[in-house]
Amino acid sequence: MKGFVPVYRKELYSLFASPIFYVVAFTFLVIAGYFFYSAVAYYNLMSFQASQSPMAARQLNVSDMVLRPFFLDLSIVLLLISTLLTMRLYAEERKTGTIELLLTYPVRDLSAVLAKFAAVATSFLAILAGTLPGMFLLHMIADPSYPTIFCGYLGVFLMGSAFLSLGVFTSSLTQNQIVAAVLSFGALLMFWVIGWTKNLVGPTAGSFIDYVSVIRHLDNFAKGIVDTRDLLYYLMFIVLFLFLTLRQMESFRWRG
């Protein structure tokens, strides 16, 4: 894996030096803050009502009423930011010609692909960390389940990474960043909404579609359950698209 570290550091530097990262982070955090606020406000309202009926009080649950909707809502914004974070990775190098440097340096294509992916995943983690103050507030005013919080973050991070891997792939397909962004956004949206048709097709196809749907696997994490099927789904998703990127770079070399 020689060459991984310098490429990773360079990519990370380029990300943090570009305005895209800050605009993306800002947008994400504003929307995430709004989602968090609305979930907490709803919980607050419910608590007032519960004070009048002891029956309703028993159903109050921070995990179900705040954490789960918060994590599921976050995934919508992921759709937007992952495409923006990844679109420049290969497209820009092809546009400016620096790809010629990268491909003639003694670095394996695999190291370069992994380094680029790791760099955007790191930047995504940094953005995600920006939502932690909300969890701290929750800790002050309520008594949330910490394993659920951890699971939720793990799920969002895995799903985000899966989205990023697809973005890396679409970025390697073109030298136009907009094309790369549109392609990855379209593909991700498709993976998202494909679950809607699960009841319209036969039972076998239905369960297959359900498994392929990218959002279904987040639900368990948001509830605080780590299921190996979900874990495996996201890992396979990442491996598949990084592998396709590698193949695409190989094909790019041959076409010249």
Residues making contact with other proteins (CB under 8 A) = 2-3, 5-7, 9-10, 13-14, 17-18, 96-101, 103-108, 253-256
- Tokens 């196809």 sit at which residue? 205
| Closer of 18 and 122 to other proteins (Cβ) | 18
- In whole angstroms, how close is the CB of 97 to other proteins at the nearest point? 3
User: How many CB atoms neighbour CB 98 within 10 A?
Assistant: 11
Distance, CA of 161 to CA of 159 (rounded, Å)? 5
- Burial of residue 194, with CB atoms counted within 10 A of its CB: 0-12 exposed, 13-18 middle, 19 or more buried: middle
User: Residue 177 is which amino acid?
Assistant: Q
Which one, 75 or 245, has the nearer CB to other proteins? 245
Q: What value does the CA radius of gyration of the chain take, rounded to a whole number of Å?
A: 20
In the bound complex, what is the minimum distance in angstroms from residue 185's beta carbon to other proteins? 24
Q: Coil, helix or strand for 215?
A: coil
Min CB(101)–other proteins separation in Å: 6
- Of 93 and 230, CB closest to other proteins: 93
Residue reference for tokens 């996201």? 234
Q: Based on CB atoms, which residue is closest to other proteins, 95 or 216?
A: 95
Nearest approach in angstroms of CB 209 to other proteins is 39
Smallest distance from other proteins to CB 4, Å: 9
Query: Angle at Cα 158 formed by Cα 152 and Cα 160, nearest 5°?
Result: 100
Task: Return the number of the residue (106 or 203) whose C-beta is nearest other proteins.
Answer: 106
Residue among 227 and 250 whose Cβ is closer to other proteins: 250
How many residues are recorded in the chain?
256
CB atoms within 10 A of CB 157: 17
Shortest Å, Cβ 8 to other proteins: 10
Smaller CB separation from other proteins, 52 or 104: 104
Residue 158 Cβ vs other proteins, minimum distance, rounded to whole Å: 29
* Backbone angle region of 52, left / alpha / beta, with phi > 0 → left and psi within -120 to 50 → alpha: alpha
Contact between 195 and 216 under an 8 Å Cβ cutoff? The reply is: yes
